[in-house]
Every structure is written in structure tokens, then in C-alpha cells.
Structure 1
């Protein structure tokens, strides 16, 4: 053994790539780079030659045609309830029918087996497209959602669905004590589970389905436990012929009861008065933008919404794919593309939502929203090893595949180019094959669970064109 070899430090894994989007403070893109990993942590980032001279890995993954990025973060997801009613079941229904008429009853009737199958399929799709972490948007059957996450190895935030009023989705009314007791039970049982990969936050389903007293309770319980809050906040424009209010009354409630001070992740902020945009921008709150949901559902949040205004006001924006049936895909890179291009067109302003800012939404901004900026969101020594490799070998990335690789990934590629994914230092996908679950088995479980789930909703919808 040579002196150089004896001087090498042992590590579990080295990943070498043609380029690394470090997302460090300088946003450096390191060409011909490598990352050394010991246990769950990154111990060094540098040039390939330097890292391999200094470290002796048990496993070497060398992809010279790939871009290494931080693992992507899907900041608004419905793992349990979105997968089983795909196949065009709600594609072109009016938004109210999709949500109140289908999604809400489906969630209510979900069995543990159905929730587990849907969650596992959701996670498999997220990982296959380079996503390593999700934030639950408030789902039923939390135990099964956690079970699936533990099995597949993904990182995530679990949020039990939290409402005590029917609201716009016609939820079953609940007592405040029962809602808070359930949320506390989920927190006590699962927070910090799976070796710390699973966190539990508190939820606010949407402003119309939560009473003032429940809001106060959620703020107190989340604050006492120093954990986060996630929920929906759609924000609707004034009805035709009515005057524009100076304040959105629901945002005013959240502000008055201290919700915004907890840095919540609020999704689907479609419309707000100008002064409220400024107030939200000055608060610690995060806004999860889900453009695919709006575009498929005809919600108007892209064409007529305030997302670019929120960005200009300083709001920290993050990205979500939402439920599989609502978005129809779980590829966060495609969501980045939509976020980067649709607002440019809607406002006829090429400068809106630059691709660099959009990529930050799915990485460093999301790490802040997760309360984990010290551990996630960038490829740096000391950070947790949540990483994704995307192949840039195809023609879509030519010429000069490493000339501007992040823009090329978002504008020309997709999450389907993900080849390898590492979560908490564990390789959960290698060469596009998941290592923790059998995708074919997951697909069979989804098919078996989907039939009964759809039967409870009246059966499958007939396709627009004959199939046979």
C-alpha cells in the first residue's frame, strides 16, 4: 500500500459528477466535482481529483455526464389521497366539483390500506424525479403515510388534516378538542421517527374550515412544540360588481392570531389586495406555489394571481406538485418550468420569475421553510447528504451541456432525467432503479387499491374516446 493510499480517509460514499450545483452562498457551479459522504453527512465537496485523492470510499458513483444538485423539496403534497383517483377521473371537472365533490369524499373514505398504497406510489414518483423531501398538505391516515415514508426512505413532514368547520369543501364538523388531541397524538407518536427523517407539523386545512378557537389552539400547540404549520390559503378575488376590500379578512385573522409569526407554509395564494401582498411579504410566512394545479384546474392563479407580486414584496416562495390527481404529475422540475415561464407570458414580462430564483424555490428556500437551512438545501460540507443526479447526456442539453446546467435542466429537461438519488446518506435510487421498494409491486398495489376507492365514488368515468 502506498503512502498516498494510507493517507486516504475512509468514507461510505463518493459521488462524482460533471457539474455540481452547490447552491452555496455564491451559488457556485463546480465542474468535474465530487462529494464525499460519511454516514448521513457530506464531509467534503471539491474537484473530483482532489476528493478521490483524499478519500477512500466503500462505494463510488461516478457520472461524468450528470449534474449533481441538492435533493429537491416538494413543499405541498397530498401523499395519501392523490394517487388512487388518477386516470382522468377528475381532469376537466369544475374546481368545486373536483375538490368538494370528489377529493374531499375520497379522503374521508380512504382505508388504511388505500392510504398506504397511495402514499408509497407518491413517494416512489417523487424520488424517481429527484425529490428527496415533501411537506404534507394535511392528509388523512397519518400512520399509513408515515409507514410508507419509513419503508421507502424519503424525508418528509407529516401534517394531519386539521379542521373543525365544514368550510368550502363540506368537511364533517369536529370538536376542537378532538382535532387538537388527534394532532397531538400524531406529533407525539411520529415526530422525529425514521431516524429523524419524519417531522410532524400542525395544520390549518383552509381558512373557511377552521374556527377562531381552533386557530388559537393550533398556534399554541405548534408554538409550544417549536414545530411548523402548513395549510391552504387560496385567496379569492372579489365578486364581479363588488368593490375591492383593503384587507383579506382571512389573512387578517391569521395575522391577528399569530399564525404568520410561526412562518407557516401556505399554499395556493391566488389573490390578495395590494396592501396584504406587502404585509405577507414582510412576514416570516412562506407561500407554496403549485402552478400545475392552477393550470389543469383553470383556477386562474397564474394568469390573474399575485405570485410575482409576492416575490417582489420579499415573500419566500417554495414549490409544490400538490396531489397526483390534481396535478397529474409529481415531477418538481416540470413544476419549476411552469413557474418560470407561465408568469412571463401572463404578464408579458420576460424578467419575471427567473430560472435561478425558481430553482432556489425548490432547494434553499424550501430548506428554510423546513426549518432546516443548516442541514438541507445545498451541497456543502456538514450538510445532510440529500442529493440528486440528473443525466445531461441527451441532445436536449447540447451544445455545451455544462455551460448553463441549471437553466438547461429546468427549461430543456425534466425530473425524468434523474438517475441517482441519495437521502440521509442512503442510495435510494441508482441507475434509475429504486433500491428500497419494488416499483412493479407498488404499481400492482395501486391498481388493486384504486378499484374499491373509485367504486366508493361511483366508479370509473367513461373516457372521452372509446377504448377497446
Structure 2
């Protein structure tokens, strides 16, 4: 059935960045028409009077596999965070626990207006993550984590190189292009520290062969930089470029500790950068030079990372933090204005996913990934004479999201999830985390 959103304030994010009052007609998975008034028979009418309709928000670096570990790895530095807590817990995943972890994360994402993600799973049970994504209606590029090297990697995560590649190809062939192309595969070598050169080169070749993205971490932490320099003889981004991995098919999470050469490389090659401000703050990893990268022409998007290093998946918090930390770092209130930050979570994310012609803005012919936000709240007032994008970036909260539509399907309406059972997921999460802590034999 057609869907007709009526009387909305529409933040289009089109090329002119128009904000208009009007209606949106959705037919199938597409935005059919946008106009001041649309009259059509046989449509499901969604009254958005007084509400704001925005493009579905996009997060380009997520770990659904880690949502179950929220609060289990607080107040640790990155490498200790990984080795002492997160890796052992990831290695203890079962198919069921990975499935519930993914559903928990997806539920939070949808309720916060996120409609598309790039996800990195763990080494095992990745089918469970894809199943959760498929059932929920979320749009995603996702892939199994690949780890075949490194000190401190538990046996439960250490892979044989060929087996890691074989399993990744199996998952790609099974899931890539599924559900009306809503689900796509992305190879996910964890980071240089835990991958052999053989694996990275093979991933490069497979990415080219299948035309899919590569999603990894880079230059998040000074200790990581030192390890890569010692082991590979050069800095992180320079090494990835030497291997031929940089370019539009590569998305790098974090990119904090870059030198001038690396920044230029990322901008010139069109390599995608995923900025995760709150994760970087919590782990004390540092603050990425996002204004400088944008000035160079780099493609930058935004994400929450994972629940144990954030501790939530709220892109509204990420947007606000992305603006504020740069203002403080550069001692200039004019850097990272609201409009520029909102672009990171919409059209910037679409570019990162290679889907700018399909998502990231509200335009006729594009996918019907749209979110209705209710800013009729105390924390968003006064409403008159205030720029709506500024209200979204600086004042709005995830709980202000009223309705989430993905691929033309309503997945949340009036704050109620329609494709996932919220209470059941929370109950299962509590049951499974206790089992996982015992299985992983980790202690706080």
C-alpha cells in the first residue's frame, strides 16, 4: 500500500539543502512525490503535522556483535579494552548470543532514527547477525571480522588465513544483495595489527573482484600506530595505500593519529572516513582532525562504534559531540556548524556506503528511508525563529524519533518497534550476558 506523510517540515538534504512544508508520497520502496499538498486514494496516511521529516540517518562504523557487552569494558585504554575484555567476550559468542546482541543494537538504532549502517561482526556466527538485520528491516553493509595474526588474540578468535577468506566468501555469496539489495557484504579485516599482509592483499583482490567494500579500523590509538610502524615498517594509512587498499571501496574507522601525508592520501584517493567522536573520547584515543580533512575534500561520515566503548548507539549524541569537540579543540565556535555535521549523518554516510544516488536525502526517486522526528518537547523549545537543523544537531535526542521507515516499510511507529520484540530482546540480553561472562572467564 502507498504511504502518504502529510503536513511535514521536510529537511530534504537535497543539493540545495531545501527545507519545505509539505507531503511525501511513498510507493513501494521509493519516494514517489514531494509536494506542498498531495491527494491520492488508497494510501496509508501518516500525519506529521508539526513534526520534522529527515532522511534516514546513517552510521558507518558499528559493532552489533558487541551490543551485549555494554558496560562490560568501561574505563580501559583501547588495546587493554580489546585484550582483557572485548576479545574474550567476542570469542565466547554462540549463534544465539550473537543474534540477540545484533537485535539489541538494531532495536536501539531504529528507535534513534538510524536506517543504514556499516557493521563489523566478530569472527564466528556471522550468519546470526545477517539474520537479525534481515528480520529487522535495517539497511546494512556487513561482514565477518577477519583476524589471522597478532599478540593477545584469544584462540577463539584466531583464524587460519585461508579459512577466514573461505568463510567470508561463503557469507558474501549467501547475503550480498539480499532483501531488495537492502543487505550487502563488506569484507572486514579488523585492523593491521591483527591481520597478515597475505590476508589484506587477498581482501583487496576480492573487493575488486566482487565490487564490495572493505571496512576496517585505522590510526585509532597511538599504541596501535607504534605496533604497525614496528611490524610493517611504515605508518598505518601509508601501509594500506602501499597494498592498494585505499580508495572509494575502503572505509576506515577513526583516523585520529594521521600525519599530513596520510591526510592527503585519504582525501586524494577518496577513501571513506568514519568519525566516532564519543568512542574516541571514552577510550581517550584522541580527537580526529575532521575539519581539516573536510577542507581537504575527504569523504567523512559518522557513527557510534559499539556499545562497550560509547555506551550507546545514539547518532544524535554523536552529531552534537562531533560539533562541540572541534570547537573546543580549535577554540573556534564557527567550526563544524550544524549543517555540516548533519551532512555527515545523512548524505555523507550515503557517499561512504556508495549509495548517494539512493539514500541520504529526501528526493523523488530515491529510496524511502525517512524518519519522523517530534521536536515538540521542552528541550527543543522555543521552536519559532530557530533553525531546524540546529535544533536537530544541538537539542534533539534519539527519544524524539517518532517513526522510522526503511525501504518503504514502517519499522517503528509512535515509538513502537514493529519488526522486533523489544521486551523479549531485553530479557534475552540479561540472560545471555551472564552466560557469556562465565564462558569467557573474564573478571572486572
Aligned residues: 437
**Counterparts in 2 of 1:256-295, with a 5 A limit?**
256-295=242-281
Instruction: Tell me the distance in 2 between the aligned counterparts of 1:90 and 1:235.
Output: 17
Q: Does 1:229 align with 2:214?
A: yes
Label 1:38 to 1:262 Cα distance change in 2 as closer, same or farther (>3 A).
same
> Any conservation in 2 of the 1:229–1:265 contact (CA below 8 Å)?
yes
Instruction: Tell me the distance in 1 between the aligned counterparts of 2:161 and 2:254.
Output: 25
Residue in 1 aligned with 2:142? 158
**RMSD, aligned α-carbons:** 2.2
Label 1:401 to 1:13 Cα distance change in 2 as closer, same or farther (>3 A).
farther
Residue in 1 aligned with 2:400? 417
Label 1:280 to 1:170 Cα distance change in 2 as closer, same or farther (>3 A).
farther
Instruction: Tell me the distance in 2 between the aligned counterparts of 1:120 and 1:453.
Output: 17
Q: Which runs of 5 or more residues in structure 2 are unaligned?
A: none
> Any conservation in 2 of the 1:229–1:262 contact (CA below 8 Å)?
no
> Any conservation in 1 of the 2:73–2:81 contact (CA below 8 Å)?
yes
Q: Secondary structure at the match of 1:65?
A: coil
For residues 56-75 of structure 1, what are the alpha-carbon distances to aligned partners after superposition, in whole Å with 9 as ceiling and x for unaligned? 24210012121101101111
> Any conservation in 2 of the 1:84–1:446 contact (CA below 8 Å)?
yes
For residues 246-294 of structure 1, what are the alpha-carbon distances to aligned partners after superposition, in whole Å with 9 as ceiling and x for unaligned? x952212211221112431100111111122122111111110111111
Q: CA deviation at 1:17?
A: 4.3
Instruction: Tell me the distance in 2 between the aligned counterparts of 1:278 and 1:428.
Output: 40
Q: Which runs of 5 or more residues in structure 1 are unaligned?
A: 1-10, 462-468
**Counterparts in 2 of 1:60-459, with a 5 A limit?**
60-80=45-65, 82-86=66-70, 88-140=71-123, 141-166=125-150, 172-237=157-222, 249-299=235-285, 301-302=286-287, 305-401=288-384, 403-458=386-441
Q: CA deviation at 1:459?
A: 6.3
Q: CA deviation at 1:95?
A: 2.7
Q: CA deviation at 1:89?
A: 2.3
Instruction: Tell me the distance in 2 between the aligned counterparts of 1:72 and 1:390.
Output: 12
Instruction: Tell me the distance in 1 between the aligned counterparts of 2:180 and 2:385.
Output: 36
Residue in 1 aligned with 2:31? 42
Q: Secondary structure at the match of 2:280?
A: helix
Q: CA deviation at 1:458?
A: 3.8
Question: Which structure has the larger Rg over C-alpha atoms?
Answer: 1
Instruction: Tell me the distance in 1 between the aligned counterparts of 2:152 and 2:262.
Output: 22
> Any conservation in 1 of the 2:380–2:395 contact (CA below 8 Å)?
yes
Instruction: Tell me the distance in 2 between the aligned counterparts of 1:106 and 1:23.
Output: 40
For residues 395-448 of structure 1, what are the alpha-carbon distances to aligned partners after superposition, in whole Å with 9 as ceiling and x for unaligned? 222223574111101101112100000011111111000111221111111111
Instruction: Tell me the distance in 2 between the aligned counterparts of 1:455 and 1:252.
Output: 41
> Any conservation in 2 of the 1:333–1:415 contact (CA below 8 Å)?
yes
Residue in 2 aligned with 1:8? none
